[in-house]
Amino acid sequence: AQSVTQLDSHVSVSEGTPVLLRCNYSSSYSPSLFWYVQHPNKGLQLLLKYTSAATLVKGINGFEAEFKKSETSFHLTKPSAHMSDAAEYFCVVIKRGRGDLIFGKGTKLSVKP
Amino acid sequence: DVKVTQSSRYLVKRTGEKVFLECVQDMDHENMFWYRQDPGLGLRLIYFSYDVKMKEKGDIPEGYSVSREKKERFSLILESASTNQTSMYLCASSFRKSYNEQFFGPGTRLTVL
């Protein structure tokens, strides 16, 4: 069975400092992994996706994630947080065969001025 | 620009009413999905469809049905709304290949009184 676990329900950083949002996955197959972001009262937007082409994936708004098979991790990072990054972030894996998405419980990112 | 639209952003209904939530995509996607989002639970799949007239149960189909008469439109039906169906409902679509990301609508926040 496939699953993702987001290790922090809430992360708080100061503006200009690095962001790290942690995600571990479980999969019998080589997984397709995504990070989505949801700003308050908005729909979900794709930040980046991993589909086995390259282990370091760059996304929108300066975010990137590294796929580490040995650690079964897919952590999301950004070198310098901006106030507009405050949102909820979801780590997601595609359910093989069925094609729907399995979502983590989400990590709420707060950015302090 | 990719577009998934949902018929209402906010909806208030009474217990026992029949409720229709509509979703339309303009990307010629084969796959369409309905999720509900609840705090602390992330997103959970209700129903999905791979093609016109096709429907498959997701993880929490009880109390819901769906209709897909046209490729671009996927409707979620609550036959007899109950208070435990108060939630955010999100529609998504994707191309047929299972590793493709899904595109989400803005969501419908349904309150059942």
| Six-digit token string for A108 | 């709420």
- The per-residue pLDDT for B72 is 96
8 Å CB contact between A108 and A9: yes
Domain range summary for chain B, segments of one domain joined by +: 4-112
| Six-digit token string for A60 | 């929108």
- The per-residue pLDDT for A54 is 84
- The per-residue pLDDT for B98 is 58
8 Å CB contact between B20 and B108: no
- Our CA-based measurement puts residue A113 at a distance from the nearest CA of chain B, in whole angstroms, of 26
Q: How far from A93 is each of A109, B78, B107, CA to CA, in Å?
A: 20, 28, 21
Instruction: Decide if pLDDT at B25 tops 90.
Output: yes
Instruction: Give percent of chain B with pLDDT exceeding 90.
Output: 80
B-side interface with A, Cβ within 8 Å? 4, 31, 33, 40-45, 48, 50, 56, 58, 90, 92, 94, 98-99, 101-107
Report residue B99's pLDDT band, with 50, 70 and 90 as the boundaries.
low
- The per-residue pLDDT for A29 is 79
- The per-residue pLDDT for B1 is 66
Amino acid at A29: Y
Distance, CA of A104 to CA of A65 (rounded, Å): 16
- The per-residue pLDDT for A94 is 85
Distance, CA of B111 to CA of B13 (rounded, Å): 6
What confidence tens digit (pLDDT) does each residue in A22-40 have?
999 998 777 889 999 999 8
User: B54 contacts in A (CB within 8 Å)?
Assistant: none
Contacts of A53 (CB under 8 A, 6+ apart): none
- Our CA-based measurement puts residue B78 at a distance from the nearest CA of chain A, in whole angstroms, of 21
- Tell me the average pLDDT across B71-93: 96
Fold of the domain spanning B4-112 = Immunoglobulin-like (2.60.40)
8 Å CB contact between A94 and A31: yes
Report residue B111's pLDDT band, with 50, 70 and 90 as the boundaries.
very high
| Six-digit token string for A59 | 């996304």
Distance, CA of B85 to CA of B78 (rounded, Å): 9
What confidence tens digit (pLDDT) does each residue in A49-93 have?
998 778 899 999 999 999 999 999 999 999 999 999 999 999 999
Instruction: Decide if pLDDT at B2 tops 90.
Output: no
Task: Output b/e per residue, B3-32; b: 16+ Cβ within 10 A.
Answer: ebebebeebebeeeeebebbbbbeeebbbb
| Six-digit token string for A45 | 């937007």
Distance, CA of A36 to CA of B106 (rounded, Å): 14
Domains and CATH numbers, chain A: 3-112 (2.60.40.10)
- The per-residue pLDDT for A101 is 84
